[in-house]
Amino acid sequence: MTGLEHVPALVTRTGYSIEPGDSVRRREPIRVGELGRPGGPIRLARERDIAALQEIERRAGAPFAEIGMVAVAEDEPPSAELLCEFLVGERAWVWPDAQDQPIGYLLLGIVDGQPHIDQVSVDPAYSGLRIGKSLIDHAVSWAKSRGLRELTLTTFTEVPWNGPYYERLGFTYIPVDDEPPGLRAVRAEESANGLDEWPRACMRVDLTSWVYD
C-alpha cells in the first residue's frame, strides 16, 4: 500500500537526524548529496535497516491524523517478515543520510507481471526535497532495465500528497472495471483492512513517458 509519502514537513530541515526510538538530535555536518539533497545515493535496503524503515513509516503517518485519517496514522508499519521478503528479492531501496541511516524508502512488488509500488515513504523532516521522487525514479530505471512497460500503485485519491501528487508525475487512474486480477486482489485486501473508509484507487504510468528529475 502506498499513501505515506511526500507528507508536509513537520519540522524545518536543519542539521538534524532522526534515529529509530530517539528524539531529534543534532548531527554535524549535513552531507549534501545528489541534486542538493542531504545524504544519498540510493542503495539497497539491508536487514539492519528494518527498524529504521518501520520508524520512518510511523513518522510519515502523523500528517494523516491532522486531516482526520487517524486509523491510517495509527496503522502498524510493515512487519519485519514482510520487509525481509523485499530485501531478499532486492526490491527495497533506501535514501540514506550522511551517517548511512535511511530517511526514505521504497518497496517494489510485482503485480500482474508488472512492477507495483507497494510503499514509498520519507521521514517528514526531509519533506520537499524530492527524495520520494528519486526513489520512484530508481524503481522506474529498475523496471525499464528489465523490459517492463508500466508501474502501478494504489493510493488515496483526495489526499493532496497522494493521488494528486502522482497525477503530476504522470500516473493516471485505472477505472475499476479495467483493473487486472492482481490489482483487484490488492484493492480487495485494502478494503478488508478498512482503507476504503476514504476514496482510494489504482493508478498506472507508462514507463516510456516517464520524466526523470
Q: What are phi and psi of 151, to 5 degrees?
A: -130, 135
- Report phi then psi at 173, rounded to 5: -75, 145
Distance from C-alpha of 41 to C-alpha of 30, rounded to nearest angstrom: 14
pLDDT at 8: 33
Phi/psi of residue 76, each to 5°?
Answer: -70, 145
pLDDT given for residue 17 in this prediction:
33
Kindly compute the dihedral angle of the four CA atoms of residues 155, 109, 184, 76, in this order, to the nearest 10 degrees: -60
Spatial CA neighbour of 95 closest among 105, 87, 86, 85? 105
**Strand runs labelled E in the chain:** 16-17, 25-26, 43-44, 92-96, 102-111, 114-122, 150-156, 172-173, 200-206
DSSP tag of 64: H
Q: How confident is the prediction along the chain (213 residues), in pLDDT tens digits per residue? A: 554 443 332 222 223 233 333 333 333 334 445 545 789 999 999 999 999 999 999 999 999 999 999 999 999 999 999 999 999 999 999 999 999 999 999 999 999 999 999 999 999 999 999 999 999 999 999 999 999 999 999 999 999 999 999 999 999 999 999 999 999 999 999 999 999 999 999 999 999 999 999
The Cα–Cα gap between 103 and 108 comes to 17
**CA 157 – CA 16 distance, rounded (Å):** 32
Q: Provide the residue type at 157 as one letter.
A: T
Pairwise CA distance, residues 38 & 131, whole Å:
9
Quickly name the fold that domain 32-209 has: Aminopeptidase (3.40.630)
| Cα–Cα nearest to 76, from 57, 90, 95, 60 | 57
